[in-house]
Amino acid sequence: MTQKVAVLGTGKIGEALLSGMIRAGWTPADLLVTTRRQERAEELHTRYGVTPVTNPEAAKIADTLILTVKPQDMGTLLDELAPHVPADRLVVSGAAGITTAYFEERLAPGTPVIRVMTNTPALVDEAMSVISAGTHATADHLAHTEEIFGAVGKTLRVPESQQDACTALSGSGPAYFFYLVEAMTDAGILLGLPRDKAHDLIVQSAIGAATMLRDSGEHPVKLRENVTSPAGTTINAIRELENHGVRAALIAALEAARDRSRALASGNN
Ligand SMILES: NC(=O)C1=CN([C@@H]2O[C@H](COP(=O)(O)OP(=O)(O)OC[C@H]3O[C@@H](n4cnc5c(N)ncnc54)[C@H](O)[C@@H]3O)[C@@H](O)[C@H]2O)C=CC1
Ligand SMILES: O=C(O)[C@@H]1CCC=N1
């Protein structure tokens, strides 16, 4: 039987997922989208051939509802949606912080809910999506969700108690790497390189390092030690990173992101 999937609130993450599903072979006719603005709906229809519907129509037609609005908009969406969702629909939330219990309290008793935290590399099929089942979600629901998010990268099942930490690590993770590239490019400027050349050098170094991390099987400490020659250049840079507390800053930064994810769960906007 054909499974229809609706993406409700098709912004950056919703569109990344949708486009990846189509690249992976999903039929656009089986994909529905909801948006707040009519022009956005037309744009998505023109770009992908998917069908724009209203939120209640999505609940009626689709087997799986993927909710990708901002956490702050989830309450309003659910107020509109919940009365229309039959209890046999699978509801997947892609929002930071919001718990499966939050949905279960607002949907018909027994409705299966799954919480997913993906990230923007979904745009290039390199997402990391972490998946947790709510009370009523079965192994089949988990497998179906993995199939959907597997279209845009890797998936990992985690206990829901780890979702806020995963949000801090991989959900927000790409931003830290972009920030690092931005800061290292500034360093290149300070050292007298043109910005475009500095950018290219750093980006290629990032791609090389990421590929080694993924493919070499080596621990990151070993990979870093291999770059760090006795009395060489790298150890001088590492000493400055340690002097400036960069490791502690990263730990504190990710802890702050985790705490913010927890706060979003308690409706703290
Ligand atoms: N941006 C990121 O890197 C990541 C975001 N997320 C999560 O994904 C969700 C979406 O984030 P983005 O795509 O960045 O936000 P976005 O703002 O680009 O997309 C959300 C979309 O939902 C629409 N919307 C809001 N209320 C609606 C309603 N009632 N009916 C229909 N459409 C509605 C908005 O118009 C907007 O287009 C958030 O919950 C966020 O926590 C998860 C992982 C990474
Ligand atoms: O910053 C945020 O809240 C979202 C969730 C993870 C990445 N972006």
Give domain status of residue 127, yes or no.
yes
Domain C-terminal end among 128, 162, 196:
162
Cβ within 8 Å of residue 254, ≥6 positions away? 168, 169, 172
- My answer on whether 11 and 141 are in the same domain is yes
Is 119's pLDDT higher than 90?
yes
ipTM of the complex: 0.98
Q: Which one of the ligands is nearest to 12 CA?
A: 1
Q: What pLDDT digit, counting tens, does each position of 188-247 carry? A: 999 999 999 999 999 999 999 999 999 999 999 999 999 999 999 999 999 999 999 999
Is 131's pLDDT higher than 60?
yes
**Distance, CA 164 to ligand 2 centroid (Å)?**
11
- My answer on whether 157 and 194 are in the same domain is no
Give domain status of residue 168, yes or no.
no
Element (H, E) at 65: strand 64-67
Among 1, 53, 46, 12, which residue's Cα sits nearest to residue 32?
53
Number of domain units in the chain: 2
- My answer on whether 69 and 193 are in the same domain is no
268 among the known binding-site residues? no
- My answer on whether 130 and 207 are in the same domain is no
Task: Find the domain containing 207 and state its range.
Answer: 173-265
**Distance, CA 18 to ligand 1 centroid (Å)?**
13
- My answer on whether 53 and 156 are in the same domain is yes
- My answer on whether 177 and 148 are in the same domain is no
Nearest alpha carbon, ligand 1 atom 34: 9
- My answer on whether 232 and 109 are in the same domain is no
Question: For 35-39, what is the mean pLDDT?
Answer: 97
pLDDT of residue 15: 97
- My answer on whether 180 and 215 are in the same domain is yes
pTM: 0.96
C-alpha pair distances (Å), 22 with each of 34, 50, 148, 191, 221 = 17, 10, 10, 45, 39
Domain C-terminal end among 100, 128, 162:
162
Question: For 153-163, what is the mean pLDDT?
Answer: 98
Give domain status of residue 132, yes or no.
yes
Task: Report the percentage of the chain scoring pLDDT > 90.
Answer: 97
DSSP class of 161: G
Q: Kindly report which listed range (68-72, 164-168, 195-199, 263-267) carries the lowest average pLDDT score.
A: 263-267
Nearest alpha carbon, ligand 2 atom 3: 96
Give domain status of residue 128, yes or no.
yes
Nearest alpha carbon, ligand 1 atom 4: 119
- My answer on whether 139 and 209 are in the same domain is no
Pocket test for ligand 1, best of 8, 13, 18 (most atoms within 8 A of CB): 13
C-alpha pair distances (Å), 104 with each of 71, 107, 151, 225, 256 = 16, 5, 26, 49, 27
- My answer on whether 17 and 148 are in the same domain is yes
236 among the known binding-site residues? no
1 pLDDT band, cuts 50/70/90, is: low
Nearest alpha carbon, ligand 2 atom 8: 172
Residue 235 sits in a domain of what CATH number?
A: 1.10.3730.10
Q: 97 CB less than 6 Å from ligand 1?
A: no
pLDDT of residue 2: 73
Q: What pLDDT digit, counting tens, does each position of 47-76 carry? A: 999 999 999 999 999 999 999 999 999 999
Is 264's pLDDT higher than 90?
yes
Domain C-terminal end among 162, 194, 226:
162
- My answer on whether 134 and 185 are in the same domain is no
- My answer on whether 138 and 250 are in the same domain is no
Q: 95 CB less than 6 Å from ligand 1?
A: yes
Residue 120 sits in a domain of what CATH number?
A: 3.40.50.720
Atom nearest to 175 CA in ligand 2: 7
